[in-house]
Chains A and B, each alone.
Chain A
C-alpha cells in the first residue's frame, strides 16, 4: 500500500502531504510561541508599581543579540539556496549551503550559551527590604565546600529539573549545627540529601548509640526508619480495626467512638534527635525548601530541624558591588537608601554616591522638562503619579568588572543617545583614585535581604521569560539543525533515487528553519531593545 501525494502535489489542493503537515505544525508553533509572547506582555504590563520588581528595561547589551540575528538570517538564506541547489540538481551546491546552515546554527548556540553563562555565573542581585537593589557578585568564602562546588556554576539552578533539591538561590545560610532533629515517618529525606551531597557523615550520638562515617549512618538510619514506620502502621491498624468494628460492625457514630476510653491511640514518637560530637558547618542554599532560620535554629520544609547557631558571619553576605538599582525608591529617597550604608569603605561609598547624584541631577533635569514650571511632583505624588517605572533612570553602573566583560545590566537611561558598542568606557564608573581592579566591597546582613540570586530565570519575571523563550527557541534551533544535518549527511541515497523527494524534504525542513528565524526576529527587539 502506498500513501498518495507523498511526493507529487494533489491537483485540486496543489500541495503534497508533508507541505500541508509542516504548515499545520507551524501554525501550532505560532500558538506555542504566541502563548509565550502573550505571557511576556501579560507579565510586563501586569506589574504592580511599587509592589513588584520593576521590569528591567533594556538591561542587555544588544551586540551579541544583533550578531545572532545576522547569523540566523544568513542561515535562512543558505537554506533556500541549498533547496534551489537541489531543484537545479546540483548536489555540490546543496552540500555547501547546507553545511553553512549547520555552521550558523552552531555559532548561534555557542553565542547563546555564552550569554547565559555570563548571567548565571557573574551577576548577582540582592534585593533589600527597603526596595533598593545591589547589583553585585557574591563572594563565596566556601568555594572548597563540596556542596557549594556542586551547586556552583550555572546549571546548578536547574538541579530541580533533574530531581534534586533546587539550588537556584546563590545566597547561603551558614549554620553551625550541634544537633539535628529528623522526622522519621515522613517520606522526605532532605537532610540525608545534604549529608550525601556534602559527604558529611559526622561522628554523632543518637540516644546512646555512636555513629561515625557513611556506612554507620546508613546502618542506623534505614533500620530506624523502617522500625518507626512499622510501629506506626501497627498502631494505626489497631486503631483502624477498632473503629471499623465499632462503626461498621455495630453501626455506632464515629464521633462517639472517638470518645471511647479503649480506643487505641496512635502516638509513636517519630522524631529523633542526633547530636553531633562537634559542631558541624552547613551551607544551606536559600530556597523555598529551606523553611526558615533563627539565631539558633534552621529548618527545612520537610520538618528537619537543625539546632545550633548561625556561623560567624553566617548572616553576613560579602559582595563586590557592580551597581545600584534604586528604581523602586522615589528620587528624593534614593540617596538615603539602605544599600549605600552597606559599602564597607567610606571613601568608596562617598565617591559612589557622588557619581550617582550627578546622574540623578541630570535625570531630574530631563524629567522637569516634561512638566510645566513649578509643577514637579513632591515625593508622595511622585511615587504615585510618576510611578517608579517612569523615573526608571537610576540604575547606575558603578564598577567595571575586572575581566573587561561588559555587564549587560549596566544600562543608564538618563542619556538619550546611547552608543551601541560594548567597548565604551563606562562614564559612571566611580572615580577617585580607584583603579579598575579595585573592588567595591559591601557587607550585607541577611536580615536586610528580601531576595537574592544570580541573574538566572529565578531572578525576576523578565529573566524568567527571557530564559524560557530563548531556551525554547534554542531547542528549536538545535532540533532544526539535527534534521537538516541528517538530510545533509544521509540525503545522498534519496537524492539518487528521487531527487524531487529530497527537495521536498529540504523545502519542508527549510520552512521550519525560516520559522525559527522569524521567531528570533521578534525575540531580538523585545528581549534586548525594549
Chain B
C-alpha cells in the first residue's frame, strides 16, 4: 500500500482538472466538504472563544474598564460610560458564545468535518450517497453562520436571550428597533432555520450512505464504532431538530407578526400590558427546545467518544474492548435521549408525577454512558501505550468526560436540581463534557487524521505544548465553577455574582486550604481562560506549519491502523479507493495471536474465511 503515497498527485492528473471553484469551493467531494466544514468550524470556535474572553473580564473585574477593546471604534459603542461591559453586551456575548460554540463549532466539526471525511472512507464508499445534497448542506451551514456573525453589526446587536432563546424574553427583546427583520433576535431565528436545514440534509445523507454504500464484506458489525456513532448521531439530528425548527418558526411569528404561541395571557412588558392576544404557553417553547436540546448534547458527545474509540485501540495496539457492547449502548443512548428532556425544566413547576418519570429516565440514561466510557477505559488495560499527541488528548478525554457525566447525576435529581439549576454548577457540568471532553476528542481527531490528508504528521513538540497547558487551564476554568455553583452563584450575572461577595472563606475552600472567598475564584477562572487562549497558539502554528514542513509519512497507513480509511492513497483522490475495497474482518484486529504484525487491517484477506456475500458496488 505504501506506494500509493507517491501516486497521489498524478492520480488527479489522469482526469481533466476541474476549475478551482469547482474543486475547492462548490465541491461535491466529501473529503473537501469535510475540510471546508473543519476550517469554518475551527474559525467559529475561535470566535466563540473570543466572546467568552470578554465575558470573563466582566466577571472577574466588574468594575474595571475593559482593556484594549475600549479603543476599538465599533466595539466601544457597546461599552457603558465607564468602558465596562454592560448588561446588554454581556447578554449578547453569552447568547452568541453558546450558540456559536454548539451549533457552529462543535457539531459541524464533529459531524460535518470528521463525519464527512471519515465515514465514507471507513465503510469503503466512493463518496456520500448524495454528493450535491452534501454540498447544499455545507453552504446552508455557511449561510447560517454568516447570518449569525452579521447580526453583531446590526443596530440592535446580536441575539441576547441565551443560547436557549427562551420565550417570552426572546420574543420581546429589541422590538423597539425600526426594522424587526434586521434585529439580532430575528436573525438568530432565521439563521437557525438554515443551520437546522443543513443538519437535516446532512443526516439524511449520512444515514443513507451508511445503509446503502457499505463496501463488500462490510457487514453491520464490521463497521467501526465511529461509523455506528455517526449513524446514531444522524438519527438524533434527523428526528430531534424538526421540533426546534417548528419552535423557531413559531417564535419568529410571535416576534414579527404578533401571534401568541408563547405569550401568556396578561403579560406585562415594561409595566404595560402587552398588546397581544395571549393564551400561549412559554412552557411549550421549553418543551420543543429541549426535545432537541437533550439529543443535541449527545450529538456533541457521541462523535467525540467515537473518535476516542478509534484512537485508543490504535495506540494501545489492542482491540477495542466491547465493540459490540458499545454499539448497543450507543443505540440505547440514542433511544433514551429522546425521553429525558424535561430534566432541564424541573424548575418550571411540573408536577411530581412527571418529574419522577424524567428523573428516572435521566438516571437510566447514564447507564449506557457509563458503559461507553468504561469500555474505553478497559481498552487501555494492559496495552503498551504509545503516547503520541492524539493519544494524549484521547486519554485526557476519559477522566474529563467522566467528571462531566458524574456531575450530571446530582442534576438529575429534582430536589438537588432546584438548588443547582441555573448556577455555575450546571455550567461546570456541561462544559466538562463539551470542552475538555468533546473538544479534546476533536483535537485528537485533528492530530490523528491530519497525516491522511496532508501526508505529514503534526509536530509532536508543538502538540505537547498545546496539550499540557490546555489540560491544566481547562480544569482551572471549570473546576471552580462547581464550588461557586454549589454556593449558589447564578450563571448569568454580568458582575460575576457581586451579590455573593460575602460568601467568603467558605468551608469548602478552607478545606482545600485556600484563603480566599468564592468570588475570588472568578479571577482564577478568567486567568485560566486567557492563558488557555495562548495555549492554542501552538496548535494554530502546528496546523499550518506541518502542512508544509511536518515530518513526512512513509506509508499510507502511518499509524499502522486497521480501518479502511488507511487503505486509500494519501490524500485520497476523488472517488477514494483505487481498487474496490473489501472488508474481510472486524475493525479492531490489533495484536492478533499468530499474526506477523501487531495489526491486521480490515482489508487483509482472512485465510480462514471469505467475506460475507454482499453485492459489490459498481466502480468507475
Contacts and interface: CB of A to CB of B under 8 A. Distances in A.
A1 B620 contact: yes
Given A288-B269, A291-B270, A458 B260 contact: yes
Given A1-B574, A38-B288, A237-B76, 19 more contacts: A4-B126, A5-B617, A20-B208, A24-B203, A25-B204, A35-B288, A53-B278, A158-B256, A158-B257, A160-B181, A165-B180, A166-B180, A168-B258, A247-B64, A248-B65, A254-B63, A289-B175, A290-B275, A302-B178
Interface string A399-417: 0000000000000000000
Contact of B614 (A11, A157, A458): A11
A254 B82 contact: yes
A266 B257 contact: no
A243 B82 contact: yes
B64 A254 contact: yes
A248 B257 CA distance: 47
A88 interface: no
Given A29-B242, A451-B277, A460-B277, A15 B212 contact: yes
Interface residues of B, number: 84
Nearest to A190: B178
Contact of A287 (B81, B275, B614): B275
A178 to B, nearest CB: 23
A43 B243 contact: no
Contacts of B82: 239-240, 243, 254, 258
A3 interface: yes
A-B CB proximity, top 7 nearest: A160-B256, A1-B575, A163-B181, A35-B246, A4-B617, A35-B243, A254-B63
B410 interface: no
B261 interface: yes
Contacts of A157: 257-258
30 contacts: A1-B127, A3-B127, A4-B617, A5-B129, A5-B213, A10-B212, A11-B615, A12-B614, A21-B204, A29-B242, A34-B243, A42-B284, A43-B280, A166-B257, A187-B156, A190-B178, A240-B70, A243-B82, A243-B83, A244-B70, A289-B176, A292-B272, A300-B176, A301-B175, A457-B259, A458-B258, A460-B279, A461-B259, A464-B259, A464-B280
A49 to B, nearest CB: 11
Nearest to B257: A160
Given A1-B126, A1-B575, A165 B64 contact: no
Contacts of A243: 65, 82-83
Interface string B590-620: 0000000000000000000000001101111
Contacts of B182: 163
B493 interface: no
A34 B266 CA distance: 29
Interface stretch (B87-95, B247-255, B388-396, B553-561): B247-255
Interface in B222-267: 238-243, 245-247, 249-250, 252-253, 255-261, 265-266
A302 B156 CA distance: 12
B177 A39 contact: no
A33 to B, nearest CB: 8
Nearest to B575: A1
B247 A35 contact: yes
A301 B64 contact: no
B129 A53 contact: no
A264 B154 CA distance: 29
Interface string A13-32: 10111101100110111011
Interface in A210-261: 233, 236-237, 239-240, 243-244, 247-248, 253-255, 258
Contacts of A161: 181, 252, 256-257
Nearest to B29: A1
Given A3-B129, A35-B242, A42-B284, A24 B204 contact: yes
A47 interface: yes
A162 B172 CA distance: 17
Contacts of B211: 13, 15, 20
B259 A239 contact: no
A372 B243 CA distance: 46
Contact of B276 (A3, A188, A458): A458
Interface in B58-90: 63-65, 67, 70, 76-77, 79, 81-83
Nearest to B254: A464
B546 interface: no
A247 B277 contact: no
Contact of B261 (A25, A39, A244, A472): A39
B435 to A, nearest CB: 30
Interface in B164-186: 172, 175-182
A374 interface: no
Contact of B279 (A47, A286, A288, A291): A47
Contacts of A32: 242-243, 245-246
A244 B239 contact: no
A239 B253 contact: no
A460 B260 CA distance: 7
B65 A240 contact: yes
A187 B155 contact: yes
Given A31-B242, A43-B261, A289-B176, A451 B275 contact: yes
Interface in A126-170: 127, 157-158, 160-166, 168-169
Contacts of A10: 212, 615
A291 B257 contact: no
Nearest to A162: B181
A2 B275 contact: no
A410 B595 CA distance: 83
B250 A169 contact: no
Interface of B: 63-65, 67, 70, 76-77, 79, 81-83, 126-131, 133, 155-156, 172, 175-182, 200, 203-205, 207-208, 211-213, 238-243, 245-247, 249-250, 252-253, 255-261, 265-266, 269-270, 272, 274-281, 283-284, 287-288, 291, 574-575, 614-615, 617-620
B81 A52 contact: no
Given A43-B281, A163-B182, A166-B258, A21 B176 contact: no
A340 interface: no
B178 A189 contact: yes
A147 to B, nearest CB: 15
B613 to A, nearest CB: 9
Contacts of A288: 172, 175, 258, 269, 274-276
Nearest to B210: A20
Contacts of B175: 288-289, 301
A4 B580 CA distance: 12
A286 B178 contact: no
A53 B279 contact: yes
A289 B256 CA distance: 11
Interface string A255-286: 10010000000100000000000000000001
A357 interface: no
B379 to A, nearest CB: 31
Contact of A20 (B212, B243, B279, B614): B212
A301 B270 CA distance: 10
A292 B274 CA distance: 10
A366 to B, nearest CB: 27
A137 B385 CA distance: 80
Contacts of B269: 288
Contacts of A189: 178
A335 interface: no
Nearest to A300: B176
Nearest to A239: B81
A457 B129 contact: no
A51 interface: yes
A169 B269 CA distance: 18
Interface string A43-84: 100111001110000000000000000000000000000000
Contacts of B213: 3-5, 17
Contact of B615 (A12, A286, A302): A12
A162 B180 CA distance: 8
A240 B79 contact: yes
A243 B67 CA distance: 12
